[in-house]
A and B are shown apart, each in its own frame.
Chain A
């Protein structure tokens, strides 16, 4: 017969045993004084004791044990907190029964709520993790943007300075150009006038010789001798010639300065690269000459390209000045210019100590400098990089053997620059 009463005692005993030995249901029997008479494993865990010791170190925090002593039978039903006000607190669903002088507590965690909370907590944790990640990413992006802004700001300041310097140079060159023109013209006229004066004197002397007595001629010759007119003529010719050369040199320097600053050429322009490079080289003479640097320039007669001339001059000047500063006294610096159908190649080589391999990857970084603090901005090569790579869509290759030499090869398209 398979009815409820069959094996009831067996199932009943099994249910009792499993309930008392399980991991979630807590069972505890107390005296009305609160002394623990029996506790299963979970109740021992919550009360912080053992089944053999039965000395509770935790207690009923809310409601307190005394409240269970009112009435008989089911005296409490609801959430109860067991703990010690300090480091442990368990919230359990409880039913408390009182029978004569004994109190029985049946308590269990709210399992569905725990599962649900665990799930929500995991989801929240994932969201927090993802948000944290997003924040880190945005922080990094902001840092990169800030670094870029700082770099751009420094570049702008530098470029503004160079622009102002260029304007000054161009202004001074323009101002000098006019006086030089009339000095040169006056020198030419002075030479002619002096020739006229001297020839006039010679004619006068000849006329005296032909028409007057010997005494007058003698006096005239004595004046010529005392005034050293023959020497004066020769020396004035030399002086005028040297002065003309000097003025010509000043004129060349002024032309170079004007060509170098090229303030009127903010847009791309078709120019003779070689003439431009010669001006750039002329600017660096002032640094090369005191070190007696052997400089060689190997380039075709003329090479017409389309570029931003002012910026290109600046880019090449930066490399050239580094080369000049790197070589010892009487060192060697060379510049070669070559071109194929599409590209121009400018190769600048020096026999300085070379760039150590560990810093070669950083030489184009803004603010990177090996010069003592205050003597270099660390912007020269980064500006060169921007001008050649970004503006002229070219490339810069660096080959440096420590202790031997450094070669910079600047390449860029001849005619692909758009304004």
Chain B
């Protein structure tokens, strides 16, 4: 499917989200998959594009928080619709713990990341938004994952992310950390880049390559 068709579906999807038309959004997602059966492309070229636009509309005072929440809820509902078909039966015995940074409420992006890991046969433990760092550390200790992935959507939570990464790194020096999210499109001087064993990923294509590399090990 070409970029123009993807952009057109992403735009229709955005309009559906803003009107609260869940049925239309769901139909568009299934229509996209009928033409291009790549869930990764659907996430990257439709959901991500539309939700970033929703974020921009809120930032530019064009829509209310309620509309933004509705758009997110509709998208999360569709992720759940697709979730059953993405769980790979070919399991790798690898584990990933995923969470939003402390204070962050936006969980749809990291959910897509969790789905990518599931698609590649990983066991994903999705802790959602607003998990305190102490709780996350306790969960990591209990689960012993191969990767911990943290999402940052709102720039103002960057300081929380830095603290969270430092705390995890101090507790688990060897664990592979993965960070990403919409906020990184604005961060120019990212001090996290110096953190050992930390990978920054900006889109799902890079994430797919990253997981494939780990699966080959």
Residues on A lying within 8 angstroms of B by beta carbon are: 118, 121-122, 125-126, 129-130, 132-133, 136-137, 139-140, 144
CB of B141 within 8 A of chain A?
no
Question: Please, which residues of chain A bring their CB within 8 A of the CB of B77?
Answer: 129
Evaluate contact between A133 and B69: CB separation under 8 angstroms: no
Q: Within the assembled complex, what's the spacing in Å between the Cα atoms of A144 and B91?
A: 11
A130–B129 Cα distance when bound, in Å, is 10
Could you say which of B16-24, B79-87, B187-195 contacts chain A?
Answer: B79-87
Cβ–Cβ contact B129 & A126, under 8 A: yes
Q: Which residues of B contact A (CB under 8 A)?
A: 65-66, 69, 73, 76-77, 79-80, 83-84, 87, 89, 105, 107, 111, 126, 128-129
Docked complex Cα distance between A126 and B126 (Å): 12
Q: How far is B126's CA from A93's CA once the two chains are assembled, in angstroms? A: 41
Task: Say which residue of A118, A130, A140 sits within 8 Å of B69 (CB atoms).
Answer: A118
Known: A118-B65, A118-B69, A133-B126. A126 touches B76 (CB 8 A): yes
CA distance A113 to B42 in the complex (A): 37
A interface, by DSSP: helix, strand, loop or mixed? Answer: helix
Q: With the chains together, A118 CA to B69 CA distance in Å?
A: 9
Residues on B with C-beta less than 8 A from A137 are 83, 87
The smallest C-beta distance from B106 to any residue of chain A, in angstroms, reads 10
18 contacts between A and B (CB under 8 A): A118-B65, A122-B73, A122-B105, A125-B73, A125-B76, A126-B76, A126-B107, A126-B128, A129-B77, A129-B80, A130-B126, A133-B80, A136-B83, A136-B84, A136-B87, A137-B83, A139-B84, A140-B87
- Cβ contacts under 8 Å, B73 to chain A: 122, 125-126, 129
Q: Report yes or no: B76 in contact with A144, Cβ–Cβ below 8 A.
A: no
Looking at the assembled complex, report how far the CB atom of A114 sits from the nearest CB atom of chain B, in whole angstroms.
9
Is there an interface contact between A125 and B69, defined as CB atoms closer than 8 Å? yes
Q: 4 closest Cβ contacts across the A-B interface? A: A122-B69, A129-B76, A140-B87, A125-B73
Specify which of B69, B80, B89, B126 is in contact with A144 (CB 8 Å cutoff): B89
Q: B4 to chain A: closest CB distance in Å?
A: 32
How distant is B37 from chain A, measured CB to nearest CB, in Å?
18
Most buried by A among B69, B77, B89, B129: B69
* Closest B residue to A140 using CB positions: B87
Q: How far is the CB of A224 from chain B (nearest CB, A)?
A: 85
Residues from chain B with Cβ under 8 Å of A125 in the complex: 69, 73, 76
From B80, B89, B129, A136 is in contact (CB under 8 Å) with B80
* A118 CA / B65 CA spacing, docked (Å): 9
| CB-defined contacts of A122 to chain B, threshold 8 Å | 69, 73, 105
State in angstroms the CA–CA spacing of A122 and B71 once bound together: 11
Chain A residues near B126: list those with CB within 8 A. Answer: 130, 133
A292 to B199, CA, bound (A): 65
For B65, B80, B105, B129, the residue with the greatest tally of chain A CB atoms inside 10 Å of its CB is B80
A133–B83 touching, CB < 8 Å = yes
Chain A residues within 8 Å of B83, by CB: 133, 136-137
The interface residues of chain B lying within 8 Å CB-to-CB of A129 are: 73, 76-77, 80
Report how far A137 CA is from B123 CA in the complex, Å. 10
Would you give the shortest CB distance from B10 to chain A, in whole angstroms? 22
In the complex, A230 Cα to B69 Cα: how many Å?
Answer: 112
B59 → chain A, closest Cβ, in Å? 18
Cα of A144 to Cα of B87 in the assembled complex, Å: 11
With a cutoff of 8 Å between Cβ atoms, the chain B residues found around residue A126 in the complex are 73, 76, 107, 128-129
**Contact between B80 and A132, CB atoms less than 8 A apart:** yes
A40 to chain B, nearest CB (A): 21
Further pairs besides A126-B76, A133-B80: 6, Cβ < 8 Å: A118-B69, A122-B73, A125-B76, A129-B73, A129-B80, A137-B87
Instruction: Using CB atoms, name the residue of chain A closest to B106.
Output: A126
When distances are taken between beta carbons in the complex, the residues of chain A under 8 Å from B84 are: 136, 139-140
In the complex, which residues of chain B have a beta carbon less than 8 angstroms from the beta carbon of A121? 69
- Shortest C-beta distance, B101 to chain A (Å), equals 15
How far is it, in angstroms, between the C-alpha of A118 and the C-alpha of B72 when the chains are bound? 14
Tell me the bound Cα distance from A125 to B111 in angstroms.
15
Q: How far is the CA of A139 from the CA of B69 in the complex (A)?
A: 28
